[in-house]
Amino acid sequence: MSAKNSLKGYVYQVNVLNAFVAKMDLKRNIKNIESEAEVKHEFDDMVIIDKNDNVLCFQVKNYEKFDINKVTIEDEVVKIVAGNTRTSSEFDPSFINGLIVNKDFECDSDILGFKSKLIDGIHVIPLTENNYDEQVGEYVNNSRKEFIQTQVINKISNALFEFKFDELPKLSFFSNDLKHETVKFNRIPEVINGLSWHLGAPGTGKSHWAGEIDEFYENSKLYRFYADEHDQERFKFDNFLEDFTHRIFGAPEKKSYDEIVDKIIEDDLIILIDGVDHVYNYNPPDLEKFLEFFDILKDTKTLIFSRPFPEIIENDNVFSIEIWNKKDTIKYLEHYGFEEDINDKIYDLTNGYPIITYYLAEHYKLNKDLTLYPEQLKSIEDYYQTILDTVDLQYPLELFLFCNSYILESEIDYLLDQNSARILHEFIEKYPYFFTKELNRIRLFHDSLFTYLHGKSEMNYDYSLGKVKKKHTV
């Protein structure tokens, strides 16, 4: 074979290898691929072990004038006539055998998810540039495809010709972990077919309830738009669809909406989606895509947890999430070990509002005092106003609006003027339960405080940003 033909054949064989490694990733049906295997026959370009431990042997041919009608099998030999080229290749009939060619033709069978034409027990697979996506499948995220292709090239360049399923990169998922544990109340609904919205104000325990339901049902799949810190990537529809597809299929293959719905129904899955309001607040351009996607789930067992917002799909299955009754509140407060009259006092002040109950319990644990709250707090806004509504405090806290994740505590002194920095440090020390600390980093504990500050600061946002910039302008 000439040098040009050798290179042409090599390039096609690498493309075929990429296709089979991609198929291993997308379909999860192959355990091992070995290229240029040492075997006692000529179908040695690839030897594959599938998930059922079947051995499959393939030969790769890149003949320009290949004709499927001129392939014959006789005495355990595959004979090919392609123009002036004639080849004969021995195979071992104790294995499943296949021929991969760079030419399109009609198929009547399949093998490992590739369409093929079966000729006397030999699968002939057409794999061309034009039919690649149809034959191999498409990734929901092409960056994974490109990464794996690079891995294949790197291994071949280093004379490594074995590719194992266990060596593929793990599927990536957004974390569903909530760092703040809470009491489980065993309020598990019976889930029936149909999409339902479960709406509640900030801090009413939506995320913890979704987590409790997910933990109870073995066939549930949970996606959170918020898990204790603002991860802007969660709010993007393409990232959601990738993560959601991974959870439903356990594979990175791109699926149509109909395929997704069919899989959910076939596996009798319960879908739990927590915090759609974060898309409404932080990525409104993608909101319509999400709502259209949720609409296709209307015949599945899907529960969506959210704060109310105007664009919620109108249907009969919209429910309000109730705050805790006294029994639930007392059960929650039991782990604090307070006296009974203190538990009763906290319930009287909070009326069972979960996040306010937490705040007051933490406050009493630190200060042994509740006199800061002279009357019942009617809402989370009412609570924050009681604590935060002073001019001196408003501006320093707005620092957390510029960075809705962690900031270094040392950055407070750098970004704020001396007086404002002092006020904020004192506030953090006095109300540590408003914040989450990791080493020397700090952020707001609950998204409801971010929302409250954002609502209060809309008129002063440019002014506050100007003050920060002014401090560091020479």
pLDDT of the residue at 410? 87
Mapped onto helix, strand or coil, the DSSP state of residue 439 is: coil
The pair of three-digit structure tokens given for residue 165, joined into one six-digit string:
């399923």
Instruction: List own/partner pairs for 229-232 with CB under 8 A and 24 or more apart.
Output: 229/405, 229/406, 229/436, 229/443, 230/282, 230/404, 230/405, 230/447, 230/450, 231/174, 232/282, 232/283
pLDDT of the residue at 314? 67
| Nearest-angstrom CA–CA distance, 215 and 182 | 14
pLDDT in tens, the chain (474 residues): 433 344 345 889 999 999 999 999 999 999 999 998 888 888 999 999 999 999 999 999 999 899 999 999 999 999 999 988 899 999 999 999 999 999 999 999 999 999 999 999 999 999 999 999 999 999 999 999 999 999 999 998 888 899 999 999 999 899 888 877 778 887 898 998 999 999 999 999 999 999 999 999 999 999 999 865 657 889 999 999 999 999 999 999 999 999 999 999 999 999 999 999 999 988 999 999 999 999 999 999 999 999 998 887 666 688 999 899 999 999 999 989 999 999 999 999 999 999 999 999 999 999 999 988 888 998 999 999 988 876 577 678 888 877 767 888 888 888 888 998 999 999 999 999 999 888 888 988 888 888 888 877 654 444 444 455 444 443
pLDDT of the residue at 390? 65
What string of H, E and C letters represents the secondary structure of 59-113? EEECCCCCCHHHEEEECCEEEEEECCEEEEEECCCCCEEEEEECCCCCCCEEECC
| Nearest-angstrom CA–CA distance, 444 and 276 | 20
pLDDT of the residue at 120? 94
pLDDT of the residue at 230? 57
Amino acid at 154: N
pLDDT of the residue at 463? 44
C-alpha dist (Å) from residue 333 to 43, 100, 342, 426, 461:
70, 67, 9, 27, 38
**What count of residues does the chain have?**
474
- Cα 141 from chain centroid (whole Å): 12
Mapped onto helix, strand or coil, the DSSP state of residue 311 is: coil
pTM of the model: 0.86
- 183 burial via Cβ count (<10 Å: 0-12, 13-18, 19+): middle
Measured from the Cβ of residue 131, the count of other Cβ atoms closer than 10 Å reads 14
Radius of gyration of the chain (CA): 31
Single out the residue of 269, 291, 266, 271 nearest to residue 280, CA to CA. Answer: 291
pLDDT of the residue at 229? 61
Instruction: List own/partner pairs for 231-238 with CB under 8 A and 24 or more apart.
Output: 231/174, 232/282, 232/283, 233/174, 234/174, 234/278, 235/278, 235/279, 235/282, 235/283, 235/286, 236/283, 236/286, 237/286, 237/289, 237/290, 237/293, 238/141
Residue with tokens 């639930």: 328
Where helices occur in 275-434 by DSSP H, the ranges are: 277-282, 287-296, 326-333, 340-350, 354-367, 380-388, 391-397, 399-402, 409-415, 418-430
Mapped onto helix, strand or coil, the DSSP state of residue 191 is: coil
| Nearest-angstrom CA–CA distance, 119 and 122 | 5
pLDDT of the residue at 113? 95
